[in-house]
Structure 1
């Protein structure tokens, strides 16, 4: 203690005395406490057992509720009742989520492979966390890297294992951690993969590897769903590259360059050309191109086909146009929105988050009919383009989330019902789909 300081400044003496006395009283109190007194935060074992039993009962009830379950953000909800069954069910938000009845397990698609969970949300097994595989469109075959080479396998999803593994190449230089991300195209007999600064074509039957040039512009949009074909350009002409034969063929009958593409299925692709004014359709089986419609205004983007593939959306500076590929006509959809999605073969749901109360909210429009407002609050749209809306056709419902609550309705907008208040806004809703359906 600095006594010179206290003498010079008497008020410090008072403070020092208070400090000394206070510390002394605290010390005496500490000694007087009984060491046997348990902390207040310790919960008796008997109180934990009912909570464990509640969780076990919830887990046991899940199989009977399949079809009605959806992940709202990272929480699991029963959309038949609005009950939040589990908070942070599997520790994140998956890209896809399936329930496998045979094993009573969950198949969860993530960025680096597939993870299997128990329905209690506990991780059971993983396929590809360190060496992400690539799968065929039907999920029956897998490609992966082992010791620098490409291997093929059949997939036994019930056992959650690769079977009938066979080595396809003897190259020894492929990178396991980046193979799935670097895979550009693939078919049953061939693939094209980025390797360092080159693109390599691999014949999976013979193991032959050769350098190849493949179209790279907007690959994800121009590539067929089965991964075999990709559209490109060569000196201003539209071409189609087929990885099976490592060859490109010119597409005739196209006016000017194509500006955007939308595959409808593996055999059909719609695209905008003619300076942004024409939509045509390529048929893979015949190799032909036929004009589908003239747009009401120039567009440079195409988006999501309807579930039955009849309609596509085109976007331009003036708004959204709907193209009827079967009826061969296009119409002005009207005012733009932050997000569009199909809830049935001919009905769109969209969200407008804007100050004008007359246009703000969640809306529905059936093709050929006036739009109708579902509610004044818009459903949430994420910065990544995802949205808190999900059709659940198995039970005939659409589920969506606004900033404050979770709702459900029929695809035509009827039977609107608030299911639950949300703790926080969510950017995605992911139904638990039934594996194999």
Structure 2
């Protein structure tokens, strides 16, 4: 997909605490909830469009438009209320964003979100950016049919087969060792277009959180290092303890180039792989605040959600300095269950909160289900070693297998 980034424009701030200062957000999950809380703290009202009653975002605002993301009356109601609209997830229909843009300022724009919705378009875009940054995606190939499976070169295997659209938290993907496994995995994707990515010798994953204003001002946060379990983010530490100064410079420069090349306005998270030889590979991006950026709420001068509000309201971007080392633990619905049984109990939050530097964030989801994100805990400290040790203590209390470093 070819993008035609809009040139930087003068800011036209939507000032808070005025009758017209209402922001809109598409999506009512935890990211919407935290955006609303940040906006309200800055003096803005927020309207949310979300089909689910009682969603996390609706619990913190009185302006919930309960409608689908393609529902035109709902979209018109959101546009009427909101001078500026953003999104909390990348799979919001681009057509809906374009419709809202006819009457409201929309950031990020539909053209930017569309790239992140399609893994092939995303990789093509990253490849073009790589001619400038020197940072490229992993070798890959689009798989449209079983005929394409037969054409896969041997050097792309073993690999990871991913659906081009709608995959997240490990869903819509499969590791394949050889052509037979690839054929079976593609058949299991029920005819969806996929992309095969070559598996590379990964040392660790990092994410770069970057934000850009309508005037072209851009800021980049410290590099965060991530660990996944079962395809779901498990822990994030920031700043990364492994990343070299050279990799920091390359990753941050690549992120700033990517966001500028798209003409993107808002908060963008880009995930990179650092390989065992120290080289850097760009993996994917999320056109919104990201799970790996939650540490910014408690450890940075300006959180990713405050930054999202600033960009959407066309205010100056905030200071991204990190004042404390941070270790973030995702809380899944599994911790409400007794071991492998179906017996449920409330986790010992009082014991967790007795740990120094613990900041508990629960998302207000009514039902705890295994593998469902229910909240997170960020541990801040004067040293990363202590923050990591405290995260390990929380794992013991909650019955979670602690990370190797804890």
TM > 0.5 fold call: no
Which of structures 1 and 2 has the larger relative contact order (alpha carbons within 8 angstroms, sep 6+)? 2
More helix by share: 2
TM superposition score normalised by structure 1: 0.27
Specify the structure having the higher radius of gyration (Cα): 1
